[in-house]
Chains A and B, each alone.
Chain A
């Protein structure tokens, strides 16, 4: 590291000792409650969403224990319906989304573009508090007389109407989604405004790190998708309580309308979840291969293409309703494989001829790439309507999206190992981290592979038991063992946080990374920077530290020929 950089870091630390730099705000609990600092909000988001991951994971373990016997007796039918509904809801609405665009994004994006904070800091704080209250609201369903919501995380009408789901748990579920929905919309506004208006001088759009690019596109997708869900939920609530008939055949309504509205949000949502994690993976692979992102511009165009296509594929969830134009939604869904494939090959290209450092973060990113390859390929089957006819609502679909979301979990864990030192100033233990990786990686494959087979053999999802096919027990047992391994891996993560607490000081740039957040101290001072380097590429810190090792221009690379 150069002298100047260490000087900057020392400056940061000396300020820290005087208590929060020049900033004389409240400290302790009051700081966490009243802050508008994107870094503290980002930390709050991270802690809350990781707790939600553990809560949702606990539900998953209960489901897996129940399914270890063809006549599982751990829970009854009603409880089982609540369990998988809340497992899916907690994981999608309360963990994956907020973690993707609220936690690391909140912390990292402003620093990556050299901004002092988000564009609307108070709106940012409101986002977090709406998210927290939404999370509590949803979980409170368990304490109502009728139990938590039990109509699946997709809440299909008319099962979710007042006659079929009369309990307060259902209303709390709707309320929770409204709260977290507004939270997401505000975060989307904030991300887009911050990235468009608060970039440091020299940080042009095509010098933004891929992570920031992906969050920009995520923000735009949030603004397009979430209001639709919010509107749909308000109509559902009106059906339940105000006697409207929007989804009721009896009053001239259309049940499939809910499915269209839900998935018009739901499919972009898949990419709202995925794009931030793609971004994390891209950053990690580039840093730990010591190379710039291969095909940087192609990566950006691939992200934009995915976002555009994602708005036109929602009805592949409706193939078996018999109400949608099959070929259109089939080709749109198949085409998403192309930009996703470009990303995959760009990740490989980034590693190619690199000097790969197998840190825990890099292992997690590789776990993402391999698991996502499996989830992506099985997704291609489901884009074909005839294949969807026989795989729809079976464990094949469950396996497909668990491959995908487990891949996202790997990317997220990689992000925590990679940016955690920047957030806290301390590294996590690598040895425990690697054990966690291998447990989770083996667990994830052991979880999903038997599910693919079960799905093809005809096991439908959301089954509390399967007495008619006791031979499915073996595959279910394997899958459960996978889930337990993931559970142990997650416990190891908690152990790692406790064990590494203030143990390994990180310094400014422990990974020799290239983006701006690694130019400032760990954790960064109140408004992030005392000074900035020249920004002439997407890796200003790298250019500053390695002035003779800048990325090669187009011509150079093309003349190299084959690798």
Chain B
């Protein structure tokens, strides 16, 4: 004992009632801040760092994110406050002091068992509502077939000649109409890839043997960046693509271009060029076996 007490034995002055008042005022201040912030901002809930999203379903996800964040901020804030309170208030006053050896307080323990269960079911209910929206499959206006390969993408539109394909930093750009339900069918021919559009708050894996499907309804027009999110080998870091959201009439005109003989030839040439790019720009795919097996 003697050795240790020399390590840390500064006796703490006893904390009085004054201290307690000051701290509880701080408690009120802490709680008042987020509430006041909410009211002052005219009920605009903060984004908590997330994108608002450019799809209807993505916006539902965004609102769910906000709800979870408010719950997390309140629960986390209160818990952190309790921890800090205990740490500040119950610093030891002397080396030999022994506090009351309380071990159980059943009503309190039941309280912090049951309340979290209720919160969890609340979060789950909100999750199910949003999940059903996100995974719903309304009648589509357009279907896009997406093929992921090492390390590029191809986008085709069944029933048309439209085909967009490209490797790595070519970042092939496909188009979809705004305000219409666009159905996606996602496939992979080699390894698992991830189709991720951050501005749409959405990702889905491309898995060999499984055709993953979902439906978007994009809101604003514009160009959006996407990339592969599931590790797929050497050039995973640069497996980019882009999506251009255009008005429905622009989209019709764009697809029609591919239906002329010139358009079909151009698409074919693009596909061929993309393949050549793969073999010329990326020659270093590790295929050597170095005498193994």
Contact = CB atoms under 8 A, between A and B. Distances in A.
Interface of A: 1, 77-78, 80-81, 144-146, 151-152, 156, 158-159, 162, 164, 166-168, 171, 240-241, 249, 254-256, 289-298, 320-323, 326-327, 330-331, 334-335, 337-338, 341-342, 344-346, 348-349, 351-359, 366, 369-370, 373-374, 377-378, 380-381, 384-387, 389-390, 392-394, 427, 430, 452-453, 456-458, 460-465, 468, 504-507, 509-512, 546, 549-554, 556-558, 560
B241 to A, nearest CB: 11
Contact of B130 (A291, A342, A386, A461): A386
Nearest to B202: A389
Given A167-B292, A386-B131, A387-B68, A293 B231 contact: no
Contacts of A557: 102-106
Contact of B101 (A292, A323, A341): A292
A462 B235 CA distance: 11
A552 B100 contact: yes
Contacts of B202: 389-390
B262 interface: no
B160 interface: no
B7 interface: yes
A516 B105 CA distance: 26
Contact of A463 (B7, B108, B237): B237
Given A342-B109, A558-B106, A390 B198 contact: yes
Given A294-B103, A389-B134, A510-B1, A167 B205 contact: no
Most buried by B among A146, A255, A357, A390: A390
9 contacts: A81-B233, A255-B192, A298-B113, A345-B112, A348-B86, A358-B91, A380-B123, A394-B229, A460-B196
B256 to A, nearest CB: 31
B92 A356 contact: yes
Interface residues of B, number: 98
Contacts of A369: 83
Given A290-B99, A370-B83, A384-B127, A162 B293 contact: yes
A256 B210 contact: yes
Contact of A377 (B72, B231, B233): B72
A11 to B, nearest CB: 19
A353 B91 CA distance: 9
B210 A461 contact: no
Given A338-B116, A557-B104, A560-B102, A355 B127 contact: no
Which of B103, B192, B293 has the largest number of chain A CB atoms within 10 A? Answer: B103
Contact of A465 (B92, B108, B237): B237
* Chain B CB within 10 A, most for which of A291, A546, A557: A557
A464 B168 CA distance: 14
Interface string B110-152: 0011001100100110011011001100000000000000000
Given A321-B210, A353-B102, A289 B192 contact: no
Q: Which 6 A-B pairs have the closest CB atoms?
A: A458-B198, A145-B290, A355-B92, A393-B229, A390-B201, A249-B209
B124 A330 contact: yes
A164 B231 CA distance: 12
Nearest to B193: A159
B7 A430 contact: yes
Contact of A295 (B53, B104, B192): B104
B37 interface: no
Contacts of B290: 144-146, 166-168
Contact of A393 (B190, B194, B199): B194
Contacts of A560: 102, 105
A327 B204 contact: no
Contacts of B209: 249, 254-255
A78 B232 CA distance: 12
A554 B104 contact: yes
A249 B64 CA distance: 36
A235 to B, nearest CB: 16
B90 A289 contact: yes
Most chain A CB neighbours (cut-off 10 Å) among B91, B98, B202: B98
Contacts of B135: 326
A183 B97 CA distance: 45
A483 B76 CA distance: 24
Nearest to A369: B83
Contacts of A465: 237-238
A487 to B, nearest CB: 24
Interface string B202-213: 111101111011
